[in-house]
């Protein structure tokens, strides 16, 4: 029984890691959080609604291996999107900021 519970727990953690996705396109961000086999949460945010992308890196291992958490504040009802344990979070924040600025410039030009 102990091995079955341990295997089930490990399989659930693997599925959570494998199917939880944070996608950034040139117009929006998609955050898919896999909770369990029957439940997942999908959140969308347009880049023109982004107010502030931030990152958090804490601890020796996270600093040494350069991974951390990315939080994106939006003007929507659900205020933040989260990407946890992302490699190179500083680059992710820079990419989000650059895409948001490019989208704003395109909208100002009327494209």
pLDDT at 82 over 70: yes
Write down the residue that tokens 């890196």 correspond to: 57
Q: Which two tokens stand for residue 84?
A: 């946890």
Q: What is the mean pLDDT of the chain?
A: 90
Band (pLDDT 50/70/90 cuts) for residue 78 is: low
Give the pLDDT of residue 2: 96
Domain-by-domain residue ranges, the chain?
A: 2-109
Q: Taking residues 66-92, what's their average pLDDT?
A: 87
Band (pLDDT 50/70/90 cuts) for residue 110 is: confident
Task: Please state which CATH number belongs to domain 2-109.
Answer: 2.30.29.30
Task: Identify whether the C-beta of residue 13 lies closer than 8 Å to the C-beta of residue 74.
Answer: no
First to last CA, the chain: 62
| CA–CA dist 85, 68 (Å, integer) | 5
Per-residue pLDDT reduced to its tens digit, 29-63: 999 999 888 899 998 888 888 888 999 999 999 99
Could you tell me which of 28, 26, 53 has the C-alpha nearest to residue 43?
28
Give the pLDDT of residue 91: 95
N residues, the chain:
111
């Amino acid at each position: 029984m102990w091995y079955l519970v341990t295997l089930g727990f490990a399989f659930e953690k693997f599925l959570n890691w494998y199917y939880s996705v944070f996608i950034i396109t040139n117009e929006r961000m998609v955050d898919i959080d896999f909770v369990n086999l029957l439940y997942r949460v999908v959140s969308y945010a347009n880049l023109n609604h982004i107010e502030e992308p931030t990152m958090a890196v804490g601890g020796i291992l996270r600093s040494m291996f350069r991974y951390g958490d990315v939080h994106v504040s939006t003007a929507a009802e659900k205020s933040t999107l989260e990407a946890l344990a992302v490699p190179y979070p500083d680059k992710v924040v820079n990419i989000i900021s650059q895409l948001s600025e490019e989208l704003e410039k395109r909208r100002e030009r009327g494209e």
